Structure 1
């Protein structure tokens, strides 16, 4: 996990590829949500309104950690921002290969450089890997499955699993549901008592990722970490605009998505 030369190579590659338009998510108490890193309504709020409502209903059945890597500047009045173009075009048909490679490299770098910080409790890294399925293209054919395949450790065939779509898949996409996804019986032993790394491409409200986390917890996952390449923000919303405008430094793969700063374990 601690190969300084590899870490530096990954960092420099990402700076060159996405540094001009991606910005690291930040964790500032009283400013950003402790779950999704979006803006909070007041300085005494730990979570944003959406994440608070999810927690009120589902509590510890939700993901134990949510780790978005970069902010996306969506809905910009002057046209599509390159960050938004990247996360949208990576899953279009045909896909934009550069966008796919950019997001894949981000997942690889995050799980290589920050594996020790993602491990909960310390020393127990993830033991299974899955991804949030697409309702329109579930299974391993969707680009999000390719993102999950970039996870650096504990990601061989015996550690992977694929979630099925559940009866609640067509429900309001902004709501967390325990029946949106399901863990197939053949994969349950890979989940029970395990730390599961759940990969997603974009967090908007988090409803789908949290629905997947609930499904994993319901069959016995001990811990779920949701690793999301991007946190979608809407530039026309004042609170989002203020947050985006404050984030001016190029994306740095050394910036820890768990601590919001440096890694105490590296």
Structure 2
């Protein structure tokens, strides 16, 4: 993978979640609890994302030198989670993204063998025709899953992708 050509055009953290602190705990709970506690945490995180994008998305598009993002997608789980809560949040809860959300990425069968390395082969992307895609991920440890997803989107024909 060519990090210069295949990498995301911009990476914008919404918040820093340090292990052992409240925000990191909430990110864990939104995936790993159930019932009222899970719904409460998911609604809170959805509100943070909604507000952040409502205030900053135009600036992000400007930084990337693209028109406003017409498509929004999420980095899918490679751990076998079929109903990822981030996808649900972006596609159904967050008002500024739900009308533009599309499921564009699917993990490839060999993704487990890739470990944590960045690889355009980690995901298969639906064909794009110069769509400006806002890619959202909920965890950034090494950045390799998000960068792999960005590479797959570019290879599928994103604005700076190969055809």
8 Å CA contact 1:195–1:223 kept in 2: the answer is no
Question: TM-score if structure 2 supplies the norm length?
Answer: 0.83
Residues 65 and 118 of structure 1, relative CA distance in 2, 3 Å threshold: same
The aligned counterpart of 1:70 is 15
1:90 aligns with 2:90: no
1:218 aligns with 2:162: no
Q: Distance in 2 between matches of 1:86 and 1:136?
A: 19
Instruction: Considering Cα pairs closer than 8 Å and 6+ residues apart, tell me whether 1 or 2 has the greater RCO.
Output: 1
Q: Distance in 2 between matches of 1:122 and 1:59?
A: 16
Report the number of matched residues. 156
Q: Distance in 1 between matches of 2:59 and 2:130?
A: 20
Q: Distance in 2 between matches of 1:122 and 1:168?
A: 34
How well do the aligned residues superpose, as a CA RMSD in angstroms?
2.3
Runs of 4+ in 1 over 3 A off after TM superposition: 120-123
Gaps of 5+ in 1: 1-53, 75-79, 225-266
8 Å CA contact 2:114–2:122 kept in 1: the answer is no
Residues 223 and 160 of structure 1, relative CA distance in 2, 3 Å threshold: farther
Deviates more, 1:204-213 or 1:118-127: 118-127
Q: Distance in 2 between matches of 1:144 and 1:213?
A: 17
8 Å CA contact 1:107–1:151 kept in 2: the answer is no
